[in-house]
Chains A and B, each alone.
Chain A
């Protein structure tokens, strides 16, 4: 063994913190040595770090525009301060409560409808005996997840069209009049159930993975004792995936303000605006679709959303740690 290798091996051993200043000095010298020795790794890290700084951290710094009067020529740093003017403007806007309500209703509806169904799908798939049938169902039901939002919305516009859509043919034949699936009454259902079509199969994967960890001997023993399959699912499978379920449910609740922005934007039309205007689309509209772009006001709305989202995520994580003993950080 050469000299350098000896040092590398010793350096890999984590030493407890030295109490004396002398020890600290030695530790910091060692750290400096380790960093110098790893310079090539830092060179490898450089491109992703630069990317993150420019496209993730610089925009984060740009959030201070919420407290400034943005002026294109002066840039983010040079623009004059405006205090909390735009934040107050948003709180006092007549659209504040409708937009908050739309965001929450859409997300809670989606959560209530789309959280339990993948569990059911996973339980059904898991109890199948034919592996070929299982594989086929999985291959087909995963597929829509990889279809673009534009294509999904295109399918909705074409297939559910009140005049030419194939879905409205039997509806018209039975009830006499077609249904406008993008009207204010139907928008939420269309949004949520098209989401079900697109994501159910994919969302079941994580529960299938958890079910694969359930001990098959439990099933064998219960079967010998004469337990029916429904009882075995209820008493063996469900408790087996309960920790994952609770963790996912809590973490999903941390996402309550994050609606599928692109899909809502594509499905939006003047008729359904009263229910489809969510925080993201409202901010987008103010910045890019009004006659005078109000970047600062739009940023203030975005900042409001980011702050509430962060609080929700941290709360959810704290709850997940307490209840399910699992967490992200």
Chain B
């Protein structure tokens, strides 16, 4: 946590300003020292090193920034390319003027230094020096001659006398100092005008060597306390000896001449030094200027990085924010930069994201509401007992509730997007529904239709009441149709049972009740009057009363049969194999009717059905009996019973077909064949086939009558099979009782 302020400080402008400031100060001091400033002269090498170190730091910073920028460009970081462009622009803008300035500064500098030197000045100074030398040479030659004459006076002088003679000679000459030296430079005697001078200025070894060669020496010399003087050393050949002595004389140059000579020499020396230092001076100034140029360039490039990064920071933020918004993050709020154009842009962006976030929240709320409503609608539709299908404008199934799947026994959710025609072709038992819808759906927009449709699938016979409506919508996308249907099989059965029960009750009440008094009255009449009547009359009475009683019994039987027909079924459904039952009844009826053959063709793999064995036995009785009755008085009558397994889209069905080769069905009864009291036989009740149909419907089956071209009648019955065959419940209850489908 404590590092954050430090980090902020390090990444802020302070380090840059400090570094640039230090380098500027260092360069200033170096420039001062280059200009002969004693204050910084001693620090020159350190300043040079410091500046080079600073430049290396700048180069390092630039390289680090370049590396960072190149990495950002590779990673396609927002604003990196703009930063590069700005850096290049800033650098080029800085490079051009600085380079121009550097070039012209160097030119001016070199020309300025060169302009200090003039050939004429140099010649004048050389001539002045030569003039001075000539003037002094003349003086020196005079002094040499004088010195040689003095030396001649010392040729035969002993060492002990020499001091006195030197004093005399000094007093009579212009010399300020006379010294007699031995061969090896040893001082023999000395005399000086300066009484404080204890040791005379001695000639150098080079002069002594010359004089030892018997050559005189005369030359100018800078003597301490004397200034410019003429030093003369001449050899003295000691008389009568091989010993060599030397006489040195120091003759001060006249003061005025000395001053002039000093001036000329100083000017000449200074000029020559300057001329010699011209190239190093240029080199030194060029070095300083180059350092300044490098510093300016590197600092400009580095500051270009800092400035570009600072300039592109809001743009980088904007790009990052835009990407975040594009990715769906509307909570982005960019930091507020300065109050400039970019600041206004950032504020506008923040305002935009705020509004987008609001709209997005609003949309999400609306979407949630819609989804809630949709879920509610789905719950409502899912809990409806009615099947509801919606069909879009392309006649494809759009939605289907769970009740529709249960009623139709088709996984409609897997069929969404398919047309009803495709679905009906895949599930054949839906063909009647599709045909009914196809005929009605073309009626037009806004028109509703209703129709009862009977399906026969694996679950058996189903009666649906269908209601359809074409939806009116301004947008064709939302146009379509809605199909609502209910399974009213049970309802119809119940209504029918109730109707027939009412009929039976009314019959019992209206017909059966009077029959007993009629029968009793007829029997009482016979009992009361028969004994009293004549035999002929008695015979008539008994025959008529007997007729009344028989007819009444017959009517009672008819009423009881009808009651039986109309009574609500009390079915005991259990898994039942039809083949043994058929075989049993075939054996029962085989040979019972002369001239009629009974054949059975049974499917060994016929599946088990869920049925009441007693009712099925009655069904077979009625059918076989009905067939036998149709073949009465017919030669070569034949009844065939056949069982088969039928496969449909809804599953397996067990089919039972009874065919005869009788006269067929008269046209007058064909349409009302299964209605009660419809018979062509003299003694029939007319309930045989009605009961058959009733039993079939009680078991959810379908009955169909056909008249083959070969003649006769063929009645086929299809019953739904047990779904889990072989897993019959032990309590005898059907696994899927059709009547309990909607219970």
> Is the A/B pair a real complex?
no
Residues of A within 8 A of B (CB): none
